[in-house]
Amino acid sequence: MTLGRLLGAEIRLDPWLVAGGALAIALGWGPETVIFAAALLLHELGHLAAAAAEEVAVVRVVLHPFGGVAQVEGLEVVERGRLMPVALAGPAASLALAAVAAYALRHGPPAWGAGGRLGLWLDANLALGLVNLVPVLPLDGGQAVRAHLAERFGMAVASHALARAGQGLGVALAAGAALGLALGLRVADVGVFGAFLALAAGREVGSGAYARTVAAARRRAALARGAVLAGRVLVAGPDVPLLTVWRAMAPRAYHEVRVVDGEGRRLGCLDEVALAEAMERLGPRATLADALARPPPRRVVAARWRGISWGHRC
């Protein structure tokens, strides 16, 4: 469900957030729902303001019960130093709002705390700020850690590891909450948060660059086992960036990239797995000429990509 646009980014509502909000209103928690929704939007406004300042293009933001997940255009090529402040701006905004509310409750007139609304505002912002600092995807803390780890391991590997960590944490929280409920503890909210976190992290695992690259490697392995796959041949000049070629690929087809000069003479060839390896090793801004001139080392850590080695050239 699309809510509208904010600072150039499309704002979408996760169906679970809509269902949860409707249920909360039906149960008589209308004011609490409105307060949390306002805190959530201001949290995302912090992200979007930082993205505009860092010149990072956010295409859309999907709002979940625990916060929003921003989809950054050209994530693979954005400078890592720009991603971290964007990731941390949301929690910073929420914690700043919580600090203002705490000050107002302590020093403001008693009427400000009437009905507990300002206390609810404090709790909502404090929860959004602290929870989103947990270093797993898709939470903001995981986004910040990914920006750091991507420098060493590549965006795909860092994304996959942190999304798996998010899945594991979500499942652990849900299971722990179920045990707590059985023991008579009031931890249902922890279990609901854990379930949402596991679902959202699972989407990150399935949609990231790592998943696309592993799928490409599996297609090559299927060919080695004698499978017959639909294929596509892409032709490009040596100065074309690797990311441009990667985006031109169609899902579920096996690709070969033929590199030709201005007169149509063939300079070399890469299959889709070698292209992905070159993106990880050289960076997505590198060109096809760079990938051909700098082949991967002979000793490859095959376990990094589930036992499938790299470097094949067609």
Question: Active-site residue numbers?
Answer: 44
DSSP character for 302? G
DSSP character for 287? B
Cα–Cα dist 155/212, whole Å:
12
| 29, 45 Cβ separation under 8 angstroms | no
123 sits in the region (left: phi over 0; alpha: psi -120 to 50; else beta) called: alpha
| CA 100 to chain CA centroid, nearest Å | 30
Question: Taking CA 75 as the corner, what is the angle to CA 172 and CA 150, rounded to the nearest 5 degrees?
Answer: 60
Q: How many CB atoms lie under 10 A from the CB of residue 227?
A: 10
Report the residue count for the chain.
314
